[in-house]
Amino acid sequence: MAGHSKWANIQHRKGRQDAARSKLFSKLSKEITVAAKMGDPDPEKNPRLRMAVKEAKSVSVPKDVIDRAIKKSQGGDAESYDEIRYEGYGPNGVAVIVEAMTDNRNRTASNVRSTFGKSGGNLGETGSVSFMFDRKGEIMYPASVGDADTVMMAAIEAGADDVESDEDGHWIYCADTDLNEVATALEASLGESETTKLIWKPQTRTPLDLEGVQKLMKLVETLEDDDDVQNVTTNFEASDEVMQAYSES
């Protein structure tokens, strides 16, 4: 199997750690509230909510914040959000998918379009870049859970499609519609995963040099700073040397 590219969808926020952490908690809380409102408030009976809670726990969102977000979904005054996907090209032709959750479509569309334009990119129509990605379920385990062969066998038995392993961990991929079933089966054999989520997996990648990475990450960071934006996915790749230089710049 191909090695997992740990830099492929890096969400690198240099500095501003506290502000970024607060913003991340807020976005995860929003996803929990929406998931609970759309289905059952019990994570065991609601696969989307279960995934949202697991992701929140993986980045140490406090239990009281999670509980409050679920409780908020049951209130009559809970906000109503639309889920929207924006697609376009960033600097150097990198494909970018932006997933948003908003109570004001016009505001969000205007902000996203402006951000693309100011960063040397172009916002396209829905479907303009998503055909270059596969919608997949991704389940991540730490390297300590076992060697590549052990994880591969467990993944095959659970119904997964692919596994990518390296010294940092194991990434198991499955059809998006099978994520909850595969994750549950893997939990029985390997224990609880670090993360379980739906992703856009690039079919091909666009290589970037240091200057290209700097331009692209400016776009990604500005998008992620928008309160309406939940996730940003790109198809760029860069060498470890380039990413190391970027992290030090």
Q: Where residue 90 sits, what CATH number does that domain have?
A: 3.30.70.980
Which tens digits make up the pLDDT trace of 65-74?
A: 999 999 988 8
Residue 239 counted as domain residue: yes
Sign of CA dihedral 103, 104, 105, 108: negative
Residues 91 and 112 in one domain: yes
Residues 126 and 212 in one domain: yes
Average pLDDT over residues 19-33: 85
Distance, in Å, from the CA atom of 36 to the CA atom of 42, rounded to the nearest integer, reads: 8
Of 183, 202, 221, which residue is a domain's last?
202
Q: What is the domain range of residue 212?
A: 83-130+205-248
Residue 65 counted as domain residue: no
Residue 177 counted as domain residue: yes
Total number of residues shown for the chain: 249
pLDDT at position 11, please?
45
With a pLDDT cut of 70, the percent of the chain lying above it is: 91
Residues 157 and 193 in one domain: yes
pLDDT at position 161, please?
95
Which tens digits make up the pLDDT trace of 78-118?
A: 678 889 999 999 999 999 999 999 999 999 999 999 999 99
Residue 26 counted as domain residue: no
**Sequence letter at residue 249:** S
* Confidence bin at 38 (pLDDT 50/70/90): confident
What is the count of structural domains for the chain? 2
Burial of 50-64, coded b for 16+ CB within 10 Å and e otherwise, reads bbbbbbbbbeebeee
Residues 121 and 87 in one domain: yes
Of 165, 182, 202, which residue is a domain's last?
202
pLDDT at position 74, please?
84
In the chain, the N- to C-terminal Cα span, in Å, equals: 33
Residue 147 counted as domain residue: yes
Q: Are 167 and 143 in contact (CB under 8 A)?
A: yes
Distance, in Å, from the CA atom of 167 to the CA atom of 119, rounded to the nearest integer, reads: 34
Token pair in block for residue 93 = 């032709």
* Confidence bin at 23 (pLDDT 50/70/90): confident
Residues 119 and 216 in one domain: yes
Residue 100 counted as domain residue: yes
Distance, in Å, from the CA atom of 3 to the CA atom of 146, rounded to the nearest integer, reads: 16
Lowest-pLDDT choice from 51-65, 73-87, 234-248: 73-87
Residues 139 and 223 in one domain: no
Residues 187 and 99 in one domain: no
Residues 161 and 218 in one domain: no
Residues 110 and 209 in one domain: yes
Residues 124 and 146 in one domain: no
Residue 18 counted as domain residue: no
Residues 120 and 98 in one domain: yes
With a pLDDT cut of 90, the percent of the chain lying above it is: 65
Determine the 3-state secondary structure of 98 from DSSP: strand
pLDDT at position 248, please?
85
pLDDT at position 118, please?
94
Distance, in Å, from the CA atom of 116 to the CA atom of 69, rounded to the nearest integer, reads: 31
Residue 57 counted as domain residue: no
* Average predicted confidence (pLDDT) for the chain: 89
Average pLDDT over residues 188-201: 93
Residues 119 and 141 in one domain: no
